[in-house]
């Protein structure tokens, strides 16, 4: 195995690197313009800015590799001279050649260490830049993108696909240098003996033809392998995150069958890929050995005739081995290039996705918001579906508390999504403080609108970090005050480490009611001007709910609050109630007023009491 082959194998088997520690606690950003946005050029040219961002390190490594390879190419020539002049002709002593060979070995060893070290550092830097670029772009994409794309697909593209591209971008220059050493060695061989050189390189054109054939076969297979690897990752990710659902329905065998089917599809594609390599790689590796056999046969005949020296035969035997190196790695490089091309295409599917919700040119910050909310003649539909909201009008005065009530699918949660611009209205205008939300910066808008969902998400961090998510620098006193207002302080203090206790993945070490109280505290600490409670007390028992409602009533003073009500008791938080039906407001008034004059309202409340209007995760009751 050559040094280049060892490098390739080592990096291919290396685990993903740990992110470097970058003070003061934030990840180092990728270089600006790290990937070209020009979609009319090939994927390598689009990735070129990523490599050029570290061009000086790359050039230094390539220069060291070039000199090391030159030293390797000169060694057989020095060996030929030593044999012919010092051992056979005896026209010179052996020591100068020994010193020269030792010097070449030292130079090659030192430079090889340098370029390998530089190569690995560059490889992991490229991987870091790619992963950071993809993650940064993912943070800009809107909810419709995540509605379409599975999370397992994204995880696969941010890991295995990046690794494939990174390996190709790193090693392709080194392989190109090895091809350069091929031509240097060929030139030296031609100066020694032209006929013998022709015999040595005679199999090389056939290697190129076989390589092209293998490349044409491997590209579509590499795409299929990468896609099916992502399918397996999706199933695993969903089963890990949904382990409680799987176990609650005793569906382990069903999920194993699904994983087994995906794994079999991946196995089939992988076997086809290995079969293609097994069919052509031995030919590509065997053809150069035919050249070595021909050199020994023809060179031996010339040596017997006295046309060439023994040193020439030894040097040519070594040079033929050097000539083989680029071609022996050609199969692996071709596979790597096809896999990288397939991976790059999948990565560009992410990077070329434009955020549907973004700041307009000239967007302004929402400063000191009062909390006035207006939805004027709003129509909204998800994708190509029918309208969920149609000619919807709703006005909330600053500090007003309004509850939205309606059957499943009436559009209640959709209203909650439009205010912070998770989605844009298909028609009509959503305003806050008289500003069209599309004319405001997304960051300032979402800082002004706080949202507490019926199924809160907690990060695998401490209780304090979860509550202070919007204000990481908030003092403990403020965090504790928010927890106290949400009725969470008592149970948090009872945890082993109090506010420094880890909540576990998604907060599942806590009860549903405890998670909701922490989510409420998180929103209250952010102190938004507009508060949206999407049935935020649904998982809390009646006694605790009353405690939280009491605290919320105090904190809602002066804060515009929109309550998505799926529970009768939640309606009591509001001063005014609006009834939705078919995406439109059909009645509005106080709870007592609607009970007295609107039979549809009483009917909806009856369904709520019976539990028929419970939403599934993130708003199935749109």
Tell me, what DSSP letter sits at residue 86?
I
Name 533's bridge partners.
452, 563
**What confidence tens digit (pLDDT) does each residue in 38-97 have?**
666 677 777 778 778 788 888 888 888 888 888 888 888 888 888 888 888 777 788 888
HEC string for 145-190: HHHHCCHHHHHHHHHHHHHHHHHHHHHHHHHHHHHHHHHHHHHHHH
Pairwise CA distance, residues 379 & 390, whole Å = 4
Instruction: For residue 217, give the nearest of 167, 156, 278, 166 by alpha carbon.
Output: 278
- Of the chain, the percentage scoring pLDDT greater than 90 comes to 2
Q: pLDDT value at position 106?
A: 92
Can you read off the two tokens belonging to residue 448? 């002004």
Percentages helix, strand, coil for the chain, rounded to the nearest 5? 65, 10, 25
Output the pLDDT for position 347. 82
Q: Cβ atoms within 10 A of the Cβ of 398, count?
A: 15
Q: Are 237 and 151 in contact (CB under 8 A)?
A: yes
Helical pair 3-13 and 310-328, crossing angle rounded to 10 deg: 20
Model-wide pTM > 0.75: no
What would the pLDDT profile of 376-408 be if each residue is shown by its tens digit?
998 988 877 788 888 889 999 888 889 898 887
Task: Say if CB 80 and CB 91 are below 8 A apart.
Answer: no
> Can you give the pLDDT at residue 548?
63
pLDDT at 18: 35
Omega of the bond leading into 24 within 30 degrees of 0 (cis):
yes
Residues of the chain with pLDDT under 70: 1-41, 150-153, 156, 215, 219, 237-238, 240-250, 324-325, 327-332, 335, 454, 505-506, 535-556, 566-567, 608-622
Q: H/E element holding 560?
A: strand 560-564
Helix ranges (H only) for 527-598 are 542-555, 568-571, 591-597
* Interatomic CA distance for residues 147 and 89, integer angstroms: 80
The structure tokens listed for 614 are 């419970």
DSSP structure class, residue 384? T
- CA 277, distance to chain mean position in Å, is 29
- For residue 64, with 0-12 CB atoms within 10 Å meaning exposed, 13-18 middle and 19 or more buried, which class applies? buried
Angle at 286 between CA 275 and CA 170, to 5 degrees: 70
Which structural domains are found in the chain, ordered by start?
3-20+27-37+44-351 (1.20.1560.10), 373-619 (3.40.50.300)
């Amino acid at each position: 195995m050559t040094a280049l082959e060892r490098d390739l194998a080592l990096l291919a088997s290396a685990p993903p690197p740990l992110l470097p520690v970058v003070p003061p606690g934030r990840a180092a950003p990728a270089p600006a313009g790290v990937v070209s946005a020009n979609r009319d050029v090939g994927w390598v040219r689009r990735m070129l800015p990523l490599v050029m961002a570290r061009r000086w390190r790359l050039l230094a490594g390539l220069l060291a590799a070039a000199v090391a390879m030159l030293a390797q190419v000169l060694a057989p020539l020095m060996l030929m001279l030593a044999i012919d002049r010092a051992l056979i002709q005896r026209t010179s002593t052996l020591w100068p050649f020994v010193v020269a060979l030792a010097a070449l070995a030292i130079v090659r060893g030192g430079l090889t260490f340098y370029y390998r070290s530089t190569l690995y550092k560059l490889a992991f830097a490229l991987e870091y830049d790619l992963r950071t670029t993809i993650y940064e772009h993912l943070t800009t994409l809107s909810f419709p993108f995540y509605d379409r794309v599975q999370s397992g697909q994204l995880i696969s593209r941010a890991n295995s696909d990046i690794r494939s591209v990174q390996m190709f971008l790193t090693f392709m220059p080194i392989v190109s240098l090895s091809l350069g050493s091929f031509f240097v060695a060929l030139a030296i061989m031609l100066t020694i003996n032209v006929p013998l050189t022709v015999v040595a390189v005679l199999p090389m054109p056939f290697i190129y033809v076989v390589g092209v054939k293998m490349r044409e076969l491997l590209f579509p297979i590499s795409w299929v392998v990468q896609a099916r690897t992502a399918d397996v990752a999706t199933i695993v990710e969903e089963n890990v995150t949904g382990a409680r659902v799987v176990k609650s329905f005793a569906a382990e065998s069903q999920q194993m069958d699904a994983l087994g089917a995906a794994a079999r599809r991946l196995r089939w594609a992988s076997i086809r890929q290995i079969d293609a390599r097994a069919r052509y790689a031995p030919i590509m590796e065997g053809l150069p050995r035919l050249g070595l056999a021909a050199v020994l046969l023809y060179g031996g005949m010339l040596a017997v005739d006295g046309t060439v020296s023994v040193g020439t035969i030894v040097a040519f035997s070594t040079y033929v081995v050097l000539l083989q190196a680029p071609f022996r790695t050609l199969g692996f490089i071709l596979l790597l290039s096809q896999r990288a091309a397939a991976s790059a295409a999948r990565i560009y599917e992410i990077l070329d996705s434009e955020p549907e919700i973004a700041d307009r040119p000239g967007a302004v910050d929402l400063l000191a918001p009062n909390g006035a909310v207006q939805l004027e003649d709003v129509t909204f539909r998800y994708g190509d579906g029918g309208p969920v909201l149609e000619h919807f009008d709703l006005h909330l005065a600053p500090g007003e508390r309004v509850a939205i009530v309606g059957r499943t699918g009436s559009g209640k949660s959709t209203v909650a999504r439009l205010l912070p611009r998770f989605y844009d209205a298909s028609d009509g205008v959503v305003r806050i403080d008289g500003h069209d939300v599309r004319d405001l910066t997304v960051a300032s808008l979402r800082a002004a609108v706080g949202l507490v969902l019926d199924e809160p998400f907690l990060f695998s961090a401490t209780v304090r970090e979860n509550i202070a998510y919007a204000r990481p620098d908030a003092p403990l006193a403020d965090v504790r005050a928010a927890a106290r207002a949400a009725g969470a302080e008592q149970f948090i203090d009872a945890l082993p480490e109090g506010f420094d206790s880890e909540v576990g993945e998604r907060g599942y070490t806590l009860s549903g009611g405890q998670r909701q109280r922490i989510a409420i505290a998180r929103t209250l600490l952010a102190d938004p001007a507009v508060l949206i409670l999407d049935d935020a007390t649904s998982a809390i028992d009646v006694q605790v709910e009353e405690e939280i409602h009491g605290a919320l009533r105090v904190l809602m003073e002066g804060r515009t609050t929109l309550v998505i009500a799926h529970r009768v008791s939640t309606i009591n938080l509001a001063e005014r109630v609006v009834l939705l039906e078919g995406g439109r407001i059909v009645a509005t008034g106080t709870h007592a007023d609607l009970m007295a004059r609107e039979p549809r309202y009483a009917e909806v409340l009856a369904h709520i009491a019976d539990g028929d209007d419970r939403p599934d995760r993130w708003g199935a009751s749109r």
